[in-house]
Amino acid sequence: MKHLNVCLILCLALLSSINSFQFSSLLEVQQLKSNIFGSNLIETIALTFQSNNKVGAAKEVLTMLEDLRNQLKSDQSTDTSIFENKRAEFDNHIEKLDNEISKLTTEIDALNLEIQRLTDLITQSDKNILSFKARIENLNALLTEMKAANDNDNIYYKQKIIELEKVYQAFSSVLVRLEKLVGSVSARQAPGHVNLTDSEKRDVE
């Protein structure tokens, strides 16, 4: 690794000693200029090589690049650790959300079944209400008929009671008159010498 670094420094030093060499003309360097980080890095290196001590400038650039690489590795390691922690956290959160979604889906299915059951009950209740209304109408009509029949019966029974009252009064009057009769028909205070006829005997009996 040190041998490679020395060769790189020597190459940079030799290239820098050539007046026609432009660091920014290398193809790889041109590719780095496509972003802000690469562009700033190239500018920093180019300014470093403007000093007369090309070898010292190359060493300085190499040190800077080593530090930058180490920093990038450290940042990458830190970012990777943060990413893994966040990913584990997010995965755990996603798993919880999946469980909640599954639970809610199950509850929604149960609610849909309950809604369907209640809908069926409402439909049946509506049918029952219509049936009960029809029965109530029939019962009201029957009550009306029964009331009319009862009114007619009351009129009939009142009439019969009046007629029976008249009959009762008539019989009562007859009994009063019979109580006052003296003779074979009443069988009271009948003279003993009177011979009763067969019809009179039947009346007495």
Q: What confidence tens digit (pLDDT) does each residue in 88-144 have?
A: 999 999 999 999 999 999 999 999 999 999 999 999 999 999 999 999 999 999 999
Question: To the nearest 5 percent, what fractions of the chain are helix, strand and coil?
Answer: 85, 0, 15
Instruction: With beta carbons less than 8 A apart as the criterion, state whether 68 and 37 touch.
Output: no
Q: Does residue 185 sit within a domain?
A: no
Q: What pLDDT shows up at residue 177?
A: 76
Q: Does residue 79 sit within a domain?
A: no
Q: Does residue 126 sit within a domain?
A: no
Average pLDDT of span 168-188: 69
Residue 42: give the domain boundaries.
Answer: 2-72
Q: What pLDDT shows up at residue 73?
A: 84
pTM of the model: 0.40
Average pLDDT of span 38-62: 70
Q: Does residue 35 sit within a domain?
A: yes
What does each C-alpha distance from 41 to 22, 45, 60 come to in angstroms? 15, 6, 13
Q: Does residue 62 sit within a domain?
A: yes
Q: Does residue 200 sit within a domain?
A: no
Q: How many domains does the chain have?
A: 1
Q: Does residue 59 sit within a domain?
A: yes
Which of 13-17, 137-141, 154-158, 185-189 is predicted with the least confidence, judged by mean pLDDT? Answer: 13-17
